[in-house]
Structure 1
């Protein structure tokens, strides 16, 4: 055996080891991504459940929510402001859902029904029309919400 052959075999073995390492790394990255997405989905689901529970578990807040949705003219200035703060919280949550959908496209589809139910309320739409300027006008999230509302109102 000459040294050239030994060198060539060493190069092949080295290249094989590098390729196997890259394949292993790809699997590790994929698994880490799955874990991240699962954790983020669980967190967002828990956050929204807590948000909704904060509304229906408190009689005063639920009355405020219900009045704001069904008969907003009955709200005082303070109650209107409180409803606005609830809306800011809800849309901040929706923005987080939208951002997660950039990583997991199916997440927005799975969550869209919940968002659409909230967005179908005319008072929520009205609040968004008045407050959407708080999001950059070039924001993908702002465009997405505007499109969803347009689709909901055209049906």
Structure 2
């Protein structure tokens, strides 16, 4: 065997090694992407459960939520607590929207809040005051759902 043949063989082996390495890295990248997606979805799911368990485990907060959603007269501290409760919920939904885990939240949940007098009033106050940081895309999405509800009511 001459040196040219050995060099050609080494080049061929090198190309095969590079191709195998790229295939391996592609597989690893896909697995990592799936793991990150799963972790993000799990975080969104856990946040939703924490919010629900707050209502389940604390009758006072559950009563505050019900009263606030019905837009009943609340004391100033109750108004603050109700706003913070809904802030937490909308920030959670915004996070799900921005991370691509929004399929965990369905639009009927958002519509359920917006269809109640207190939920609609909260959303309108939040838009005017910009009291929480929400993405423009999420705000547009919620506004579209709100407009859809208003068209159905008309």
Q: What range describes the TM-score normalised by the shorter chain of this pair?
A: 0.7 to 0.9
Following the alignment from structure 1 to structure 2, what is the Cα–Cα distance between the partners of residues 22 and 64?
57
Aligned pairs, number: 149
Q: 1:54-94 CA distances to partner (integer Å, 9 max, x unpaired)? A: 12321211111111112x24211211111000011011101
Distance 1:114 1:139, change over 3 A: same
After superposition, the C-alpha distances for 1:100-125 in whole angstroms (9 at most, x for unaligned) are 21xxxxx4234224344334334223
Aligned counterpart, 1:104: none
Aligned residue for 2:19? 19
Equivalent in the alignment of 1:129? 124
- What is residue 109 of structure 1 aligned with on the other side? 103
The 1-side partners of 2:150 and 2:120 are apart by 10
Q: Matches of 1:35 and 1:144 in 2, distance apart?
A: 27
TM-score (norm 1): 0.83
Q: Distance in 2 between matches of 1:40 and 1:23?
A: 26
| Gap regions ≥5 residues in structure 2 | none
Q: Distance in 1 between matches of 2:117 and 2:9?
A: 72
CA distance in 2, matches of 1:8, 1:99: 51
> Does the Cα contact within 8 Å between 1:69 and 1:124 map onto a contact in 2?
yes
The answer to whether the Cα contact below 8 Å between 1:69 and 1:121 also exists between their aligned partners in 2 is yes
Any idea what SS the aligned residue of 1:16 has?
helix
For 1:108 and 1:42, how far apart are their aligned partners in 2? 12
Larger relative contact order, structure 1 or 2 (CA cutoff 8 Å, min sep 6)? 2
Would the alpha carbon gap of residues 35 and 139 (structure 1) be closer, same or farther in structure 2, given more than 3 Å must change? Answer: same
Distance 1:125 1:35 in 2: 37
Which residue of 1 is the match for residue 30 of structure 2? Answer: 30
